């Protein structure tokens, strides 16, 4: 378990949301260069489907992939431990994927235990949060758990859709971050990204 990874996502993504919602994109040239760099590095393993308007993004370690809208871009600076980092054109929605090998945990570790660890680490320094019930879902045939957490920090609310996918060898965190209003308007699209996750 990466103990400090998730909190980095909170601060970085929350900052991106604040900048996007209240100040706009402050550095388009830098953002475009970073995105172009990431796409070029992973270009051979990514495919685009004109019919659906989505493109497939393969993780940096080649173990998994997700499908995202063509207007979204790969990034490199959201979280250093993420194997997939993507964001919408204005960076007001973002999704990352983090993996943990089951060999790093006791054999008694369950997906429920892992979910509790992730949520606990993510919000360990935050008291102003609202959590939904954890629900069972299936992601491309794999057992998964999902929860939504709304955090309020500095009077700004951020919603995290956290999905834990269990495979034979790994636990995957598929974490989407957005604002409450955008989740309401774009829930289907954001869930489609999460549901597209598959292990290679």
User: pLDDT tens, position by position, for the chain (200 residues)?
Assistant: 543 333 444 444 443 433 333 333 334 444 444 444 544 555 544 555 555 799 999 999 999 999 999 999 999 989 999 999 999 999 899 999 999 999 999 999 999 999 999 999 989 888 899 999 999 999 999 999 999 999 999 999 999 999 999 999 999 999 999 999 999 899 999 999 999 999 99
CA nearest to 167, candidates 103, 85, 84, 118: 103
| Distances from the Cα of 145 to the Cα of 88, 118, 190, angstroms | 24, 12, 16
Which residues, in sequence order, are CB contacts of 149 under 8 Å at separation 6+? 119, 122, 123, 129, 130, 131, 132, 159, 160, 162
CA distance 135 to 132: 9
Q: Which pTM does this prediction carry?
A: 0.77
Burial of 65 (0-12, 13-18, 19+ CB in 10 A): buried
- Residue 97's CB is within 10 A of a number of other CB atoms, namely 25
CA–CA gap between residue 63 and residue 71 (Å, rounded):
24
Instruction: Say which DSSP state 26 is in.
Output: S
Assign 69 to helix, strand or coil.
strand
CA proximity to 64, closest of 119, 182, 161, 144: 144
The overall longest dimension of the chain from CA atoms, in Å, is 48
What pLDDT is recorded for position 124? 87
């Amino acid at each position: 378990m990466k103990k400090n990874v998730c909190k980095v996502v909170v601060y970085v993504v929350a900052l991106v949301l604040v900048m996007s919602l209240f100040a706009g994109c402050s550095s388009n040239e830098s953002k475009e260069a970073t995105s172009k760099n990431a796409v070029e590095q992973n270009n051979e393993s990514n495919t685009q489907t004109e019919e659906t308007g989505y493109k497939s993004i393969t993780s940096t370690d080649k173990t998994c992939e997700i499908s995202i809208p063509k207007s979204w871009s790969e990034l490199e600076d959201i979280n250093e431990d993420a194997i997939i980092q993507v964001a919408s054109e204005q960076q007001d929605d973002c999704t990352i994927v983090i993996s943990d090998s089951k060999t790093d945990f006791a054999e008694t570790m369950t997906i429920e235990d892992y979910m509790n660890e992730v949520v606990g680490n993510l919000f360990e320094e935050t008291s102003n949060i609202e959590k939904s019930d954890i629900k069972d879902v299936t992601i491309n045939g794999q057992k998964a758990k999902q929860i939504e957490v709304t955090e309020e920090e500095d009077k700004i609310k951020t919603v995290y859709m956290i999905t834990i996918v269990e495979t034979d060898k790994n636990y995957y965190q598929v974490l989407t971050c957005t604002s409450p209003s955008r989740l309401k308007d774009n829930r289907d699209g954001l869930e489609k990204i999460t549901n597209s996750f598959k292990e290679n």
